[in-house]
Amino acid sequence: MAAAIGTKILGTGMTGGVYKIVTVTATIASASDDIILTAATHGITAITAIVGAVITGTIDANFSALQVSFSALTLTCVSKQPDGANSDTWAAATIAVTVIGTM
């Protein structure tokens, strides 16, 4: 497991000032990577839901599916091959994950 850097590309507050939609991008470097969000960098103090996650670069035979889960402010990203096995190569594999979080 490796720690990926989640670069914030979108941070939009929602009506009422309680929730915020945040999209982060990261480069994947192992079969399971953690992206740790922080209030100072990403503007949220807790993740409420994952809206979506997509592979934005280098879909191939070794990385064709993505599973994302969360606990507190940590997103765990698992990369998969078409047969369901964990990926074993990640040449320029990038992802984007959008979450709703509390401010």
Q: Could you give all domains of the chain from N- to C-terminal order, each with its CATH number?
A: 2-102 (2.60.40)
Residue with tokens 């999209």: 23
Look at 12 and 86; give whichever has higher pLDDT: 86
Q: Please tell me the pTM assigned to this model.
A: 0.86
The C-alpha angle 25, 27, 31, rounded to 5 degrees, equals 120
37-44 own/partner pairs: CB under 8 Å, 24+ apart: 37/6, 37/73, 37/74, 37/75, 37/99, 37/101, 38/73, 41/8, 42/6, 42/8, 42/11, 42/101, 43/8, 43/11, 43/101, 43/103, 44/20, 44/73, 44/99, 44/101, 44/102, 44/103
Residue with tokens 């979506």: 52
Q: Quick: pLDDT tens for 10-51.
A: 667 776 778 888 999 888 888 899 999 999 888 899 999 999
Q: Quick: pLDDT tens for 87-103.
A: 887 777 889 999 999 98
